[in-house]
Each structure stands twice: as C-alpha cells, then as structure tokens.
Amino acid sequence: MKMRTAIALLIDNELANRLATFTLRCRDYGFDLRVLRLPTHMSLKQPFVVKDFERFEGYFDEFARRMEPQKLRFDGFVFWGDAEQGVVSVSARVTASPRLRQLHEQLNTELEQSFGGTQADFDGDTYEFHLAVALGGFHTDLLPQLNSDIATWKLDEVTEASQLAMFIYEESTHPDPFFGVREYGTYKVLPLRQKSVHS
C-alpha cells in the first residue's frame, strides 16, 4: 500500500488545552479550526510517501521502542507563509536541541535506507521544530496586526513528550483549498521507552 505519513511527538493534555486557546485567538485573523483535527503535536518528520506501509508500520513501532521521552522547550510564537496568497501558519517555537536534530537526521537516514524516496518538505539541518496552532486561509490586511499581537503572546516553558504518533494522508475525493487533495488523521499512538529504575 502506498501512503503518505508523518511522525510526531504528542504534547501533554495540560499544555495542549492551553495552546488550543491560541487557536481560537487566531480566528480573529481569518484562520479556521482545522488544526484541531489532529492532536497537538510537534513533527519530527513532515508528511512523506512510503511505498510499503505494512513494513513501515513495523519500523515505526520499533523506533518508538528505541526512543526515550523528549524535553521540549517552547519560546513564544512565530508565523510564516505567503501573505499574498493568504496562507499563513501560526506556530509555537520549539528550541532545536541537539537531541531533536539527531532524531530528525536519524529518521531521514534510516527511512531512506530502508524504504527509499522518503524525502519530506523542509528536511535537513535547517528544519524548524514547531507546533502549529493555526493553519489555513488568512486575511492579508490583518498581517501587520497579527505580527504585533503574537509578539505579546507568552509561552516560555519546558514540557516532556512521552508519546509518538503516526499520522496518515491519502488522496481525497473532496480537495481542500489549503491542504489540497489529502485526507488525514491519526493512525497510531505509542508510548516512548521509559528509563529503567534501579533500586
């Protein structure tokens, strides 16, 4: 089976609940609620094509067993996109720790070696770790106001992510103007390897 998939760390419920309030704030600038269709997450690898989904699922299970919970440090918000086309993302910034960089590179290397053709958008040394709180259409005339407002939105904390999620995407019979021809959803969530406790 040929499928697009993505790999992400899930955020704990307490922080996810607070971040959802920023999604509601973004509605004032023309965003909708579609970002809430997936659980609150930080992608380690953006959607990519995998040609042997069943074998990839085995790899995902094994990767989760090898990976320990990850500390994520958040530092405010950022937006990017094409203001002329009215498509912008508002995201919480995540500090690119050496361990996150290592995990991203490990995924890229192992997936390419095992499956081939697994390149995703934005892969590489400059990959920006982030947590999207709003996606989609945007009122371009409100961009200066959003720029000013998000500078005052505070998010300065550290959390631990202890679950790994696999999202899947497939061609849609009802194309979306922003996400294109993809349907998407959560396929699997696994706990990360816990450190052993010695007495």
pLDDT at 170: 83
Range of lowest pLDDT (1-10, 80-89, 139-148): 80-89
CA–CA distance, 115 with 109 (Å, rounded to integer): 10
DSSP readout, 4-49?
A: EEEEEEEPPHHHHHHHHHHHHHHGGGT--SGGGGS-SEEEEEEEEE
- Please, are residues 160 and 110 in contact by the beta-carbon 8 Å criterion? no
pLDDT at 100: 97
Question: Token pair of 197, please?
Answer: 């406790």
| The overall pTM is greater than 0.95 | no
For residue 81, is it left (φ>0), alpha (ψ between -120 and 50) or beta? left
- 191 pLDDT exceeds 60? yes
pLDDT tens for residues 154-189? 999 999 999 999 999 886 555 555 445 468 899 999
pLDDT at 3: 80
pLDDT at 198: 46
Q: Phi and psi of 12, rounded to 5°?
A: -60, 155
Range of lowest pLDDT (38-42, 114-118, 143-147, 177-181): 177-181
CA–CA distance, 17 with 185 (Å, rounded to integer): 19
Going along the chain from its start, the domains and CATH numbers come out as 3-191 (3.90.1140.10)
